[in-house]
């Protein structure tokens, strides 16, 4: 789950990283007194979950005098399609130099990887292309609790040595918060020390339970409802609803629909143990989506009870056409139930997808 | 076959839970069918002394292997405790952990795999259906009735996608040597590369099906390894139509930072001369040509 800048800054501060003084403002808040302590020159930043915010006009410079107009202006903007409901007002730092630092997980090496660059505040992928020497990379063994000194020295090169300490503090925050990404861009030096001028944090969805986060804000309402039932659900834009078991098979079904000339409406993986109630709920979830004209059910598993699944489909009673492929135990009974209620059951994934694409046109 | 055979003694961690006990029964049914050893003991902390499907349960892996001959565990422990359970198994001297568990925090997975590595213990998964060598041994939750013995190896990041392909292969009369589900998480123990190396040493395996999906670039590395080892391979990549930055069921199936989208993967594979199946249903005929 993505954490917004102001929350990420509070978390980084907890690990000892300095952040600019700031005030969060919601639409409609009375902020005139609270921002007075930030000094004359200030920065106003839209709090939206999207990269490239600066370029899209989400960060504005202001003074105490121009602040009301600037804040009003930002609340009126949409940044890459997202409405601005919260802005962060911060003191403007007297920046001497900008750096880049991030920590992610390297899947092939199975360990955290730290990236550091002498040039911050810009697109790091561009830096990597134009000046590979400016970007340094180090892998940290997962059993280490600190970044060893020699690695810190390697990463920062000739930059002030305080930056090495900041890297270590960020690493500790990365571990303690079950992060998939912890990034500071730019990380800046001023006369007063090293500051995180921006902050980005993504927390592992599998660890939200121990990070005190009850609700995954990355999901829309229907996706969250599905997750509460133990499903994985992603909304797409087409007209053919998809229900499968297992991520790979469901993805392959979505792909096959597209490759056969149809447009998938969603990805819905009902996971293992697809019983009557779960299948019924899944079918109704898609049945409620107006653009869905036909639903493909593709369930395969040794222990899937086909008669139960068939009952669930019938019980859902949605208006859309449903084409079904089931393989598991009690297949014949499942086929009989579906046929009795006018549903089609086919033998292979290809057949079921072809039938759905034809029905959707 | 690779990783395990008829003689492999198996322990199940998380034996008394619904999933654990259910699959102990299925794994042992299969062991009886093929005349193999199967599951010899279960482990659930605090439940030592109980019995699950005629199998004795112990409170720790150490206690279990003190009383039984076992080198391998299959794990159904819940995600919040599973990282620890992998380390417990490694510490007790287990050589292979098959972690079926889904939703383990990725930091726990990294630490557990790194720790297991220091003990010479290998990890399959997590978030995987396990390993099945037809006629020899089932470690995990794969539906054995779809499988038949032969000389094609299968490696996959996904459970049901594997069953789909195995089903198609078997129907086309193409048997399997070993089918390995390596798991759908971003960080996993044995990768495509590791399993390809195993197949290279296996005299039975003549060709390999590699079933991948979007996210990361381990499919490319695996296919490249197969090419270097001179093992004929066909690849399928799921998720060609997935939107960026969205997690497609598996924690590892996400395009992030512009890395790992399925179409780029396919292009890279084709560029190095690896056959890529555009549809699952074409895999048996492509394999037939490679054999």
Any idea what the CATH number is for the domain that residue B86 is in? 3.40.50.720
Residues of chain B with pLDDT under 50: none
Cα-Cα-Cα-Cα dihedral sign, residues B129, B131, B133, B135: negative
Backbone angles phi, psi at A270, to 5 degrees: -85, 0
Claim to verify: residue B19 and residue B92 sit in the same structural domain:
yes
Residue B213 belongs to a domain:
yes
Distances (CA, A) of B258 to A1, A238, B215, B255, B269: 18, 24, 10, 6, 18
- Cβ atoms of B180 and B4 within 8 Å: the answer is no
Distances (CA, A) of A24 to A4, A47, A71, A121, B231: 11, 9, 11, 22, 59
The alpha carbon of A342 is separated from its chain's Cα centroid by a whole number of angstroms, namely 40
State the total domains in chain B.
2
Claim to verify: residue B75 and residue B18 sit in the same structural domain:
yes
Claim to verify: residue B147 and residue B286 sit in the same structural domain:
yes
pLDDT band at A134 (very low <50, low <70, confident <90, very high): confident
* Confidence (pLDDT) at A130: 78
Claim to verify: residue B178 and residue B99 sit in the same structural domain:
no
Claim to verify: residue B98 and residue B24 sit in the same structural domain:
yes
Residue B149 belongs to a domain:
yes
**Helix (H/G/I), strand (E/B), else coil: B265:** helix
Classify the complex by whether its ipTM is higher than 0.90, answering yes or no.
yes
pLDDT at A24 over 90: yes
Contact list in A for residue B242 (CB cut-off 8 A) is: 234, 251, 254, 267
pLDDT tens digit sequence for A228-272: 888 999 999 999 999 999 999 999 999 999 999 999 999 999 987
The alpha carbon of A345 is separated from its chain's Cα centroid by a whole number of angstroms, namely 36
Indicate the helix (H) or strand (E) that contains B103: none
Claim to verify: residue B285 and residue B150 sit in the same structural domain:
yes
Residue by residue, DSSP assigns A143-206 as T-SS--HHHHHHHHTTS-THHHHHHHHHHHHHHHTTEEEEEEEEEEEETTEEEESS-EEEE-GG
Q: Which domain holds residue B242?
A: 143-290
* Confidence (pLDDT) at B273: 95
The domain spanning residue B168 has which CATH number?
A: 3.40.50.261
Query: Position of tokens 């059993």?
Result: A143
Percent of chain A with pLDDT over 90: 74
**C-alpha span between B152 and B175 (Å, rounded):** 6
Claim to verify: residue B151 and residue B246 sit in the same structural domain:
yes
The alpha carbon of A148 is separated from its chain's Cα centroid by a whole number of angstroms, namely 31
Q: Which residue has the higher pLDDT, A332 or B150?
A: B150
Establish, for the pair of chains A and B, how many residue pairs have beta carbons separated by less than 8 Å: 162
Query: Position of tokens 């381990």?
Result: B218
Closest CA in chain A for residue B280: A252
Cα end-to-end span (Å), chain A: 37
Residue B221 belongs to a domain:
yes
Query: Is A247 in contact with B248 (Cβ distance < 8 A)?
Result: yes
CA-angle at B254, arms to B252 and B258, nearest 5°: 125
* Confidence (pLDDT) at A302: 66
Claim to verify: residue B108 and residue B203 sit in the same structural domain:
no
B107 assigned to active site = no
Among candidate residues A268, A284, A288, the one with its CA nearest the CA of residue A276 = A284
Rounded to an integer, the average pLDDT of A212-237 is: 86
Residue B137 belongs to a domain:
no
Rounded to an integer, the average pLDDT of A107-134 is: 84
Residue B3 belongs to a domain:
no
Strand ranges (E), B144-189 = 149-156, 176-181
Residue B120 belongs to a domain:
yes
pLDDT at A128 over 80: no
How many Cα atoms sit within 13 Å of B43 on the Cβ side?
Answer: 27
B79-91 and B106-118 are packed helices; what angle lies between their axes, rounded to 10 degrees? 0
pLDDT at A21 over 70: yes
**Radius of gyration of chain A from Cα atoms?**
26
Claim to verify: residue B96 and residue B234 sit in the same structural domain:
no
Q: What is the mean pLDDT of chain A?
A: 92
* Confidence (pLDDT) at A62: 95
* Confidence (pLDDT) at B246: 81
Claim to verify: residue B77 and residue B199 sit in the same structural domain:
no
Claim to verify: residue B148 and residue B285 sit in the same structural domain:
yes
* Confidence (pLDDT) at B40: 98
- Record the pTM: 0.93
* Confidence (pLDDT) at A81: 83
* Confidence (pLDDT) at B257: 62
* Confidence (pLDDT) at A295: 97
How far is A16 from chain B, CA to nearest CA, in Å? Answer: 22
Claim to verify: residue B212 and residue B265 sit in the same structural domain:
yes
Contact list in B for residue A244 (CB cut-off 8 A) is: 160
Domains of chain A: 21-91 (3.30.1490.20), 97-210 (3.30.470.20), 221-360 (3.40.50.261)
* Confidence (pLDDT) at A151: 98
How far is B211 from chain A, CA to nearest CA, in Å? Answer: 9
Residue B281 belongs to a domain:
yes
How far is B148 from chain A, CA to nearest CA, in Å? Answer: 15
Percent of chain A with pLDDT over 70: 99
Which of A107, A175, A246 is facing B158, going by the closest CB pair? A246
Residue B2 belongs to a domain:
no
Contact list in B for residue A267 (CB cut-off 8 A) is: 242, 248-249
Helical ranges in A15-161 per DSSP H? 67-75, 124-130, 149-156
Query: Is B105 in contact with A207 (Cβ distance < 8 A)?
Result: yes
pLDDT band at A82 (very low <50, low <70, confident <90, very high): confident
**C-alpha span between A250 and A298 (Å, rounded):** 8
A183 assigned to active site = yes
């Amino acid at each position: 789950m993505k954490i917004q800048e102001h929350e990420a800054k509070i978390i980084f501060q907890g690990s000892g990283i300095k952040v600019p003084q700031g005030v969060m403002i919601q639409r409609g808040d009375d902020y005139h007194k609270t921002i007075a302590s930030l000094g004359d020159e200030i920065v106003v930043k839209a709090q939206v979950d999207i990269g490239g915010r600066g370029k899209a006009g989400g960060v504005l410079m202001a003074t105490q005098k121009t602040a009301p107009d600037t804040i009003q202006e930002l609340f009126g903007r949409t940044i890459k399609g997202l409405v601005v409901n919260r802005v962060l007002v911060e003191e403007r730092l007297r920046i001497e130099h900008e750096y880049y630092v991030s920590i992610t997980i390297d899947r092939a090496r199975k360990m955290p990887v730290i990236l550091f660059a002498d040039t911050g505040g810009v697109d790091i992928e561009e830096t990597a292309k134009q000046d590979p020497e400016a970007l340094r990379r180090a892998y940290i063994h997962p059993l280490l609790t600190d970044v060893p000194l020699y690695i810190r020295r390697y990463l920062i090169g000739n930059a002030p040595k305080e930056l090495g300490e900041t890297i270590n503090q960020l690493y500790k925050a990365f571990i303690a918060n079950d992060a998939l990404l912890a990034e500071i861009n730019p990380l800046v030096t001023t006369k007063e020390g090293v500051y995180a001028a921006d902050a980005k944090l993504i927390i592992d969805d599998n660890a939200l339970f121990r990070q005190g986060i009850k609700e995954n804000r990355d999901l829309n309402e229907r996706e969250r409802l599905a997750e509460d039932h133990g499903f994985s659900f992603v909304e797409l834009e087409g007209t053919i609803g998809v229900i499968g078991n297992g991520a790979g098979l469901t993805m392959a079904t979505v792909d096959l629909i597209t490759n056969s000339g149809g447009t998938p409406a969603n990805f819905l993986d009902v996971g293992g143990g697809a019983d009557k109630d779960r299948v019924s709920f899944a079918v109704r979830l898609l049945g409620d989506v107006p653009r869905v004209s036909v639903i493909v059910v593709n369930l395969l598993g040794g222990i899937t009870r086909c008669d139960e699944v068939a009952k669930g489909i019938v019980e859902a009673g949605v208006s859309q056409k449903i084409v079904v492929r089931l393989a598991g135990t009690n297949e014949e009974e499942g086929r009989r139930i579906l046929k009795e209620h006018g549903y089609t059951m086919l033998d292979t994934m290809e057949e079921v997808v072809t039938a759905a694409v034809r029905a959707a046109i | 076959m690779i990783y395990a055979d008829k003689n492999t003694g198996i322990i199940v961690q998380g034996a008394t839970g619904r999933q654990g006990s259910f699959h102990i029964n299925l794994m042992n049914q299969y062991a009886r069918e093929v005349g193999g050893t199967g599951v010899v003991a279960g482990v659930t902390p605090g439940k030592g002394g109980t019995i699950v499907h005629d199998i004795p349960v112990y409170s720790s892996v150490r206690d279990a292997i003190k009383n039984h001959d076992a080198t391998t565990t299959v794990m159904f422990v819940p995600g919040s405790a599973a990282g620890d359970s992998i380390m417990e198994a490694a510490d007790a001297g287990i050589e292979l952990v098959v972690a079926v568990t889904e939703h383990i925090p990725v930091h726990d997975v990294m630490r557990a795999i790194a720790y297991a590595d220091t003990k010479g213990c290998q990890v399959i998964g997590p978030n995987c259906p396990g390993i099945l060598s037809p006629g020899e041994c089932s470690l995990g939750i794969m539906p054995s009735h779809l499988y038949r013995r032969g000389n094609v190896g299968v490696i996959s990041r996904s459970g049901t996608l594997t069953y789909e392909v195995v089903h198609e292969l078997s129907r086309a009369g193409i048997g399997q040597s070993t089918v390995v589900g390596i798991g759908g998480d971003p960080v996993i123990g044995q990768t495509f590369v590791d399993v390809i190396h195993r197949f290279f040493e296996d005299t039975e395996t003549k060709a390999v099906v590699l079933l991948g999906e979007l996210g990361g670039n381990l499919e490319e590395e695996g296919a490249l390894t197969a090419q270097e080892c001179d093992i004929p391979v066909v690849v399928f990549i799921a998720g060609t139509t997935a939107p960026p930055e969205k997690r497609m069921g598996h924690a590892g199936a996400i395009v992030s930072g512009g890395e790992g989208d399925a179409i780029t993967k396919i292009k890279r594979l084709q560029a190095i001369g690896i056959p890529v199946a555009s549809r699952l249903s074409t895999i048996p005929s492509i394999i037939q040509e490679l054999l």
